[in-house]
Amino acid sequence: MKGTSGFWAEKCVLVTGATGIIGSWVVKDLIDHGAEVIALVLDADPQSELHRSGYVRRVHVVNGRLEDFRTLERALLAYECDTVIHLGAQAIVSVASRSPLPTFETNIRGTWNLLEACRLHSGLAKRVVVASSDKAYGEQEHLPYTEEMPLQGRHPYEVSKSCADLIAQSYHRTYGLPVAVARCGNVYGGGDLNWTRIVPGTIRSLYRGERPLIRSDGKYIRDYIYVKDVSRAYLNLAEQLDSLQVAGESFNFSTESRVTVLDIVNRIRRIMKCEHIQPTVLNQAKGEIRNQYLSSAKAARVLGWRPVYTLDDGLTETIEWYKKYLGENPVE
């Protein structure tokens, strides 16, 4: 993987969504590489990996909402941030479907607020990475998703990611803002406490001796990527934003695995030695794209990025994280 080993020393990085699953690991990696981190946090979450790891004591915390432009501008100016990694979002598909307006406000308005603050103070923000998603592509006739495909989300969460992605691209094309977009599939790993997601939900159910629930028919195909590989991807992308091949571009990050929901559940059952516990298939999923997976050939070619973890290796580490967490928090 390309990148300079000492790149992050003395860099000042604003990370939005710092207590989320990806944000927590990105912050940890940045600090371990010598960066000063400014964490935008909506609500303090003592159960997040950022807090549990103790790294929250090593960052500057700014409390506020993405929807509040002045908060974002203050964070950027007060700490003279030269790098922005924008991970903050309402990230739950079912929540977006039930309540689209707050999702649009956070994911779309929040993105343009941040980019506008960076544009107004372009002397500070030398590099901006925006988190998009495979969901931004919407439903496509041909797979895997590649970066030249149109963004055509249809349901609320997909639309919010399509819009934010396009807004980020427009800020580069129109104003020359040094921004790049990252698109990942389903991110899993320690620290995800949204139990409706298939990986943490399945692990918790099996840990308790309960049958895991599959909302769909189990045959939906998804692209799963371990959070540590995702964190490396964000840092690598930011490091190379000075390149003309990177600024203004979008990159898919993927293990290029094509795994059904039922297969991911069965892998977890095997690793946890719980194959005797059968899942319950609810077949109730609505408004979700059936098959989604990405090509990361561009990231490999331009950035030199490749995943380190296989699916089984990532799941094994993830299961160990949750065993420790659930052992400490038996009522969760």
* Catalytic annotation, residues: 157
DSSP 58-127: GSEEEE--TT-HHHHHHHHHHTT-SEEEE------HHHHHH-HHHHHIIIIIHHHHHHHHHHHTTTT--E
Residues 6+ apart with CB under 8 A from 132: 161, 164, 165, 168, 181, 182, 183, 250
The token duo for 166 is 């396009």
Q: How many residues does the chain have?
A: 332
- The strand pair at 127-131 and 179-184 is best described as parallel
Beta bridge mates, 15: 39, 85
E strand or H helix that includes residue 150: none
Residues 6+ apart with CB under 8 A from 330: none
Measured CA to CA, the distance from residue 50 to residue 40 in angstroms comes to 12
Measured CA to CA, the distance from residue 305 to residue 210 in angstroms comes to 38
For residue 283, count CB atoms less than 10 angstroms from its CB and return exposed for 0-12, middle for 13-18, buried for 19 or more: exposed
